[in-house]
Amino acid sequence: MRLSWRRSSRAEDRFESWITQQHQRRVLAGETTPSGPCPDERFLRDLARKSKRIALSDPRIDHAATCPNCMKRLLVLRQERQSSRRKLAWALAGAACIVLVAGLIGLWRYESRQQMLAQAPPVAETVDLWDAATYRGQQPGQLQSVELPAARVHLTIILPRFSFAGQYLVGVTRDQDGNGVVAEGAAPTSGNGAQQKVSVDLDLRSAKPGAYFLSTTHEQDEAAYYYPLQIK
């Protein structure tokens, strides 16, 4: 039902546009007699874009519908309007493409940068706490501060004099009670003679620059030592 109605409606549309064309042909051929003077250009422009400013009862509509000059002008204005609309549509489509491409390039750059950062080897850093043993009894604030970058760090710590060999837990924490652990890693000591070293990988990429503590804890001893740390 609906389909046949649509079809007949389309046929009606065709019929109406045929009548319009026949009418236009007659007007342009001068077979009609217009009443009244020609309206101004502004009125014809409004009529061409079917402005709501124009009342259907306006006698100038009857004139324009029967005057060959006004009809010609109207057809030109309609065509201009259609082509400027088409240009606008193309311009909008072009702008949308540019935005899309710029977005894709931005995303691609962001992702390749993220990939580069993820694949970048850890920064090798060495922290020498050899002489820190002397200050064990004092406040950590009086020790020389250690600096590390906010990156993936392969940290080698030269442990304080007289440190035991064995497994160590190394951490970066917010305070010296071991709270707010930013990163930690465990490794056995290596070294020759009295000097013990421990190397761990710490991921400090999420750490905001500021003051932290570096802690070392011997697995059996379980006493943690905290050293002031600056993350840059």
Q: Which residues bind Zn ion (CB under 5 A)?
A: 38, 67, 69-70
Tokens linked to 221: 């001893």
Min CB(7)–Zn ion separation in Å? 38
Min CB(82)–Zn ion separation in Å? 22
Min CB(44)–Zn ion separation in Å? 9
| DSSP structure string for 19-68 | HHHHHHHHHHTT-S---SPPPPHHHHHHHHTT-TTS-TT-HHHHHHHH-H
Nearer to Zn ion, 33 or 142 (CB): 33
Nearer to Zn ion, 70 or 153 (CB): 70
Return the residue nearest Zn ion (CB atom). Answer: 67
Nearer to Zn ion, 40 or 175 (CB): 40
Contact 105, 73 (CB under 8 A): no
Nearer to Zn ion, 70 or 183 (CB): 70
- Residue of 51, 53, 52, 49 whose CA lies nearest to 81: 49
Min CB(70)–Zn ion separation in Å? 3
Nearer to Zn ion, 38 or 54 (CB): 38
- Residue of 93, 106, 216 whose CA lies nearest to 159: 216
Name all contacts of 181-184 with Cβ < 8 Å and 24+ positions apart: 182/206, 182/207, 182/212, 183/207
Min CB(66)–Zn ion separation in Å? 8
Q: Alpha-carbon distance 186 to 29, whole Å? A: 98
